[in-house]
Amino acid sequence: MSPALAVFCREYQVLSATNLSGLQAIYAPHIVFEDPSHQLAGLTNLQRYFEHLFSHVRHCQFEIAQIIEQEGEAFVRWQMRFSHPKLNGGEEISVPGVSHLHFSEQVDFHRDYFDLGAMLYEHIPVMGALVKSLKRRLSQ
């Protein structure tokens, strides 16, 4: 495993509201970060995003499940577990996802793929029932 990928995996498994300093070790200053609801450029913007994210959850933990790496690029499959006081009655929510990374010395591109409905919409009163109903109908 390349050093940049090893740092990514190590730091993501210990990320928390009180431990965001590892972001500087992971990401290049010109990082481009994308997920289903955000597109950010620059380490400062990414740090603000994580500060905001962690200020609203009770806990958030990533478990790395699989890594596929080739020549400065990797796909990392993970399971995110988090709890938010306004979602799912404050109970833990588990969401699988994949991160697509480009790197040399540090990660300079990070794109997350996950089901935003499973993470958020399904746990909002009224909307959750609609999203779950729609998913059931589409699967038939």
Q: Is residue 21 part of a domain?
A: yes
Q: Is residue 132 part of a domain?
A: no
Q: Is residue 63 part of a domain?
A: yes
Q: Is residue 128 part of a domain?
A: no
Helix H or strand E encompassing 114? strand 107-114
Count of domains observed in the chain? 1
pTM: 0.85
**pLDDT at residue number 128:** 63
**Residue 118 pLDDT > 80:** no
pLDDT digits (tens, 9 = 90+) for 33-78: 999 999 999 999 999 999 998 888 888 999 999 999 999 999 999 9
Q: Is residue 17 part of a domain?
A: yes
**pLDDT at residue number 62:** 93
Q: Is residue 133 part of a domain?
A: no
Domain that holds residue 41: 3-114
Mean pLDDT of the chain: 89
Q: Is residue 119 part of a domain?
A: no
DSSP of 59-74? EEEEEEEEEEEETTEE
Q: Is residue 135 part of a domain?
A: no
- Using an 8 Å Cβ cutoff, are 60 and 80 in contact? yes
User: Taking the alpha carbons of 14, 19, 23, 24 in that order, is the dihedral positive or negative?
Assistant: negative
CATH number, residue 7: 3.10.450.50
- Using an 8 Å Cβ cutoff, are 60 and 15 in contact? yes
